[in-house]
Amino acid sequence: MSKGELIIPQDFPVLQNDTFLKAARGEEGHHVPVWCMRQAGRYLPEFREFRAGKDFFETCRSPEACCELTLQPLRRFAFDAAIIFSDILVVPQAMGMDVQMVAGKGPTFPEPLKEPEDLQRLRSKVDVDKELGYVFRAITLTRHKIQGKVPLIGFTGAPWTLMSYMIEGGGSSTHSKAKRWLYQHPEASHMLLKMLTDVIVEYLLGQVAAGAQALQVFESHAGILGPLQFQEFSLPYLDDIARRVKERFKETQQEVPMIVFAKDAHYALEALSQSHYQVVGLDWTIDPRSARDRTAGKVSVQGNMDPCALYAPKECISDTVRTMLEGFGTRGYIANLGHGLYPDMDPEHVGAFVEAVHRHSKLMIKQK
């Protein structure tokens, strides 16, 4: 295939491994599918080597670089899905905000939103093809280059999580500046969340048009909201995103599973299982059996081994995986961690995790 054909979002290679998509639909394959959040990440020496000396968001803007980084973990491990290498903060950038990745500090907004008036600094209409076309091109290129080995997941940050970054200006343990907005400026907060939702919907649709075969929405800062604020400032937007994206799928007769991962929102499990998502991602503080009880078969689930369990000796990883599989069962279940991989993790232990999910689940399905 010529270079030109690799950037056209059609004639993709036939998918060979549909275990992930089956599980997202609530079905069972011959093994439980597994992938890891942040599987394209700093724990891989080839990732560190490839990224060395390059600006983080420059990398995000290069389809070739994103493609290479997305494919790296697939060369090592038998993951059942790939997730496009990118960052949730490309959306605030598309809306006109400056975001830098500062070494040792993480993402930083030199000029965060301080007052409701600052919303005027944001683009009211975002041309996603123009501002985020580089992500779409990365997805198309990667979908071709994966050669149908596994499906490719696209993703976005959820409105509240992006809003909290835009106001805090970076990481925070309390997110108290962003939460102050919710309490002092509820109307402006809803306005911002609505603006973000509109961009996110177009962004996700663009990803699917470019070749994404599943979509994950990260509400990484859900846990900092209590049940009341989640109900008001997170859930309606999460649900609206899935509803609107799926409505547009109907028109084109596409079927792209959507996953919601609201980290630490233990209190919202029932509500999320009744939303428009097919899959609910779980952090490691949720007991697998209790998750199945509380979601009552309404959704597939994804997660949730404590990422730090990868620090344990390999034989312990196998035991932890078996216990997790027994808790979740093998149908409508996508194995993953309860959070992303950390940079100091041993790739061999990641391999042991993947291998254990496949080995134990095959046996469990066979013995049924």
Residues that bind a copy of itself (CB under 8 A): 171, 173-174, 176, 179-180, 182-184, 223, 225-229, 264, 266-267, 284-287, 290, 306-309, 311-313, 316, 338-339, 342, 344
Q: How far is the CB of 222 from a copy of itself (least distance, A)?
A: 10
- Among the options 25, 51, 76, 359, which is catalytic? 51
Residues 322 and 325: their CA atoms lie apart, in Å, by: 5
- Among the options 165, 203, 237, 277, which is catalytic? 165
Q: How far is the CB of 294 from a copy of itself (least distance, A)?
A: 12
Q: How far is the CB of 31 from a copy of itself (least distance, A)?
A: 24
Q: How far is the CB of 216 from a copy of itself (least distance, A)?
A: 20
50 versus 311: smaller Cβ distance to a copy of itself: 311
Distances from the Cα of 57 to the Cαs of 88, 98, 153, in angstroms?
Answer: 11, 11, 20
**Coil, strand or helix at 208:** helix
96 versus 227: smaller Cβ distance to a copy of itself: 227
In angstroms, the first-to-last Cα distance of the chain is: 44
- Among the options 87, 118, 287, 306, which is catalytic? 87
> Structure tokens of 280?
């609910």
- Catalytic status, residue 51: yes
144 versus 339: smaller Cβ distance to a copy of itself: 339
Residues 181 and 163: their CA atoms lie apart, in Å, by: 10
Q: How far is the CB of 22 from a copy of itself (least distance, A)?
A: 27
- Among the options 38, 61, 137, 143, which is catalytic? 38
- Catalytic status, residue 165: yes
> Structure tokens of 63?
């389809």
- Catalytic status, residue 38: yes
Count of C-beta atoms within a 10 Å radius of residue 265: 27
Contacts of 303 (CB under 8 A, 6+ apart): 281, 282, 283, 284, 286, 291, 335, 336, 337, 338
- Catalytic status, residue 331: no
204 versus 224: smaller Cβ distance to a copy of itself: 224
Beta bridge partners of 216: 155, 259
- Catalytic status, residue 42: yes
152 versus 282: smaller Cβ distance to a copy of itself: 282
Read out DSSP for 24-47? Answer: HTT---SS--B--TT-SSTTSHHH
User: Could you give the residue numbers annotated as active site?
Assistant: 38, 42, 51, 87, 165
